[in-house]
A and B are shown apart, each in its own frame.
Chain A
Amino acid sequence: MGFSTTLTVNGVTRTIELDDPRVTILDLLRERLHLTGTKKGCDRGQCGACTVLIDGRRVNSCLAFAISHDGAQVLTIEGIAEGNRLHPVQEAFIAHDGLQCGFCTPGQIMSAIGLIQEDQAGNDPERVREGMSGNLCRCGAYQGITEAVLEAQRALDAASRKEVA
């Protein structure tokens, strides 16, 4: 039995034929669309490596059936830079050494973008740590990650103030 799902991934709308209802958004991204920036860590919603934005909200893509998300907008790590210009969160992760091996980094960055959009943490490191607790880093780069998120938040705040002015 065939199934199809229509997703807008990084701005491009596609209808994807699925031969199986069990396909997750994570597996669809990696194995059908070859967007392998989104990582498969635990595949059980415990590590956060697979974090993407679905309809603007950060979620674990390993715990989302593709078939159930017909019509959704998906933003992945491949879709956040503008050409060669990195996203401010990417810049900040580099500036603050917010990574070592890099496996959790796409999930960390997508989660940080989600956190900043949620606008709950402000410039409080404790709220940033709490808000990022769904993303595990086996290398223990948490200090750099927290600093990167705080700096990216400041950079994005300044940019949006400039836009308003």
Chain B
Amino acid sequence: MRTFDYVRPATVQEAVAAASEPGAVYLAAGTNLMDLMKGNIIRPSRLVDISHLPDLDRIEDLPDGGVRIGALVRNADLAHDRAFARRFPAVAEALLSGASAQLRNAATVGGNLLQRTRCAYFYDVASACNKREPGSGCDARNGENRLHAIMGWSESCIATHPSDFCVPLVALDAVVEIEGRAGRRDVPLEALHQLPGGAPDRESALEPGEMIVAVRLPAEAAHFAAHARYLKVRERTSYAFAVVSAAAALRMEGDTIKEARLALGGVALKPWRAREAEQILTEMRAGASAFRRAAEAALAEARPSGDNGFKIELARRIVVRALALAAAGTPERVPALPASPFAVSGDVIHA
């Protein structure tokens, strides 16, 4: 690890000024940052420690019925906040399906959004990676790529975004509050992460020095609370990133879907909102045929980036099953194995 200047600002404004210098990065919990620094994948010259900033660790109800989650709220604290989990159960389930208890106790909301891909070639400094070293090439393209992207990838980069948390958030129209030198601005979460195109080193809509201070969910996001699930296929039962995941949220009247939200994880370099599938589901009777049509639409643009064609059909099936689980109703409590395909029983497993 390269050494660095350590700065601990007292205010958000001081933090933004300190982080606007070239080579500076923000430090919150550091659970991903320190891993990247230890491997020399990134070599920042300055760490701006925002973990002591006041007021960014609150979960606040907004007058319009929405909720505002401070950027420094810990993943575990948000997932276990009863009022939050009751209104946004798929978000709580996604959080609890990610990482380990130790990491969730440390990792922050803002850090989760800005975590880097876990592409092994990005982490291996001896490999070519356009994200780590623009113009060097992409060794994943002809490498071990069965877990790589099936949507929105380019010849430059086939990595995926690893967050679980972001998947239901993007389905529920979350908005990111960003503080920069020019003041505060809002960006829809869907527009925060960028697809790779020809410049995979540019990962987000953030400008130099800009800092995420909060994430907001609108009041409408709570209308799906009775039918909202997150489902995640992993290569082991727990403590693994998604091969493919889906967040499904429905607003139902009887058997009829009045409104649907659907997003996929593990398929692209951003959480993937499936709006066409949502349209197809609207005013449909909940059931296998509607879910299958939605899944076909959600994956219509998918194509393998390597040895990962299996992820396309896997993703369709996960969409169908997540929708079936959502239609069956949100459980009273997050299952013992959150978001796990092994955590359910009965007919729904074969949807």
Contacts and interface: CB of A to CB of B under 8 A. Distances in A.
Interface of A: 3, 20-22, 24, 43-45, 48, 51, 57-60, 62-65, 67-68, 111, 114-115, 118, 120, 124, 126-127, 129-135
22 contacts: A21-B5, A22-B4, A24-B34, A57-B106, A58-B105, A59-B105, A60-B103, A60-B106, A63-B31, A64-B106, A65-B30, A114-B102, A118-B80, A124-B336, A129-B238, A130-B238, A130-B337, A133-B238, A133-B239, A134-B99, A134-B100, A134-B102
B51 interface: yes
B105 A57 contact: yes
Interface of B: 1, 3-6, 8, 27, 29-31, 34-35, 38-39, 47, 49, 51-52, 76, 80, 99-103, 105-106, 237-239, 336-338
The 4 closest A-B pairs by CB, nearest first: A134-B100, A133-B238, A126-B336, A133-B239
Nearest to A55: B105
Nearest to B343: A126
A59 B106 contact: yes
A44 B237 CA distance: 20
Nearest to A22: B1
Contacts of B34: 24, 45, 62-63, 65
Contact of A59 (B38, B102, B338): B102
Nearest to A120: B80
Contacts of A64: 29-30, 106
Secondary structure call for the A interface? mixed
A130 B29 CA distance: 23
B31 A60 contact: yes
A163 B307 CA distance: 60
A115 B101 contact: yes
A65 B27 contact: yes
Contact of A68 (B27, B100, B237): B27
Nearest to A48: B102
A130 B336 contact: yes
B98 to A, nearest CB: 11
Nearest to B79: A120
A81 to B, nearest CB: 22
A118 B101 CA distance: 10
Nearest to A127: B336
Given A64-B30, A67-B6, A43 B38 contact: yes
A131 to B, nearest CB: 6
Contacts of A111: 101-102
A51 to B, nearest CB: 6
Nearest to B240: A133
B52 to A, nearest CB: 8
Nearest to B77: A57
Given A63-B31, A120-B80, A131-B101, 19 more contacts: A20-B3, A22-B3, A44-B39, A45-B31, A45-B35, A48-B100, A48-B102, A58-B102, A59-B103, A59-B105, A59-B106, A60-B102, A65-B34, A68-B8, A68-B51, A127-B336, A133-B238, A134-B99, A134-B102
A120 to B, nearest CB: 7
A127 B35 CA distance: 28
Contacts of B106: 57, 59-60, 63-64
